[in-house]
């Protein structure tokens, strides 16, 4: 059974749904076996509201993942509209790091849900790669990064994020790593003097 996403929802119902997803991300990242009643209580909704939106644990876990991917990928276009291409790319890299850290915490819950449903990984990956390509293309056109950088190059460069321990000071470490990567992307850019 899928989560209820077809048709418009009342604004209070939409707020409840968003709050459930926010709390579920945090709680499932801490423990993949967190009771759903705990998520409902911390979200400030009744158990019936949770189950109307997400009929089972798998539906909730997969929707948390889908929601996070969608927010991440939607933000790329928004950043390109509001910032210079290189600033948009660097800001998006921070968001990608937060997504990766959240997904690392959510990994056990995702594995459990994927075992029962087939999993969301490939469609989410394609959306993220599409966002990377959009950001890189905008930077290539602006001359703000070195020519010829591909999405594959970018993914290989940031792969070190997966080695950072989520239980430590991951934010400071990812910021330093991503600053180094951005400096490397800018080196040799046609628009740099």
148 φψ region: left (φ > 0), alpha (ψ -120 to 50), beta (else): left
pLDDT of the residue at 101: 82
Q: List pLDDT tens digits, range 87-124.
A: 999 999 999 998 888 777 777 777 777 665 455 556 67
Least-confidence region, from 5-9, 19-23, 99-103, 171-175 = 5-9
3-state secondary structure of 34: coil
The Cα–Cα gap between 148 and 110 comes to: 34
Mean pLDDT, range 126-133, rounded to an integer: 93
| Cβ atoms 83, 171 nearer than 8 A | no
The Cα–Cα gap between 37 and 45 comes to: 9
pLDDT of the residue at 89: 98
DSSP for 86-111?
HHHHHHHHHHHHHHHHHHHHHHHHHH
pLDDT at residue 3 is higher than 50:
no
Burial bucket for residue 81 (CB in 10 Å: 0-12, 13-18, 19+): exposed
Reference 16, options 46, 55, 59; nearest CA is: 46
pLDDT of the residue at 4: 47
| Cβ atoms 85, 182 nearer than 8 A | no
- Predicted TM-score (pTM) above 0.85: no
| Cβ atoms 177, 160 nearer than 8 A | yes
Q: List pLDDT tens digits, range 64-84.
A: 989 999 999 999 999 999 999
* pLDDT band at 189; cut points 50, 70, 90: very high
The Cα–Cα gap between 128 and 74 comes to: 10
pLDDT at residue 52 is higher than 90:
yes
pLDDT of the residue at 115: 61
């Amino acid at each position: 059974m899928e989560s209820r996403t077809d048709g418009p929802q009342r604004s209070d119902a939409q707020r409840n749904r968003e709050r459930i997803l926010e709390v579920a991300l945090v709680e499932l990242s801490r423990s993949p076996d967190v009771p759903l009643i705990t998520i409902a209580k911390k979200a400030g909704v009744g158990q019936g509201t949770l189950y109307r939106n997400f009929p089972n644990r798998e539906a909730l876990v997969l929707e948390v993942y889908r929601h996070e991917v969608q927010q991440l990928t939607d933000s790329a276009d928004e950043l390109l509209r509001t910032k210079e291409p290189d600033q948009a790319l660097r800001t998006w890299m921070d968001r990608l790091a937060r997504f990766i850290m959240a997904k690392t915490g959510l990994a056990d819950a995702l594995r459990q849900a994927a075992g029962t449903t087939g999993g969301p990984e490939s469609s989410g990956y394609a959306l993220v790669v599409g966002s990377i390509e959009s950001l890189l293309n905008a930077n290539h056109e602006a001359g703000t990064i070195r020519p010829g950088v591909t999405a594959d190059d970018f993914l290989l460069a940031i792969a070190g994020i997966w080695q950072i321990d989520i239980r430590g000071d991951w934010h400071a470490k990812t910021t330093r790593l991503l600053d180094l990567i951005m400096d490397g992307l800018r080196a040799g850019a046609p628009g740099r003097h």
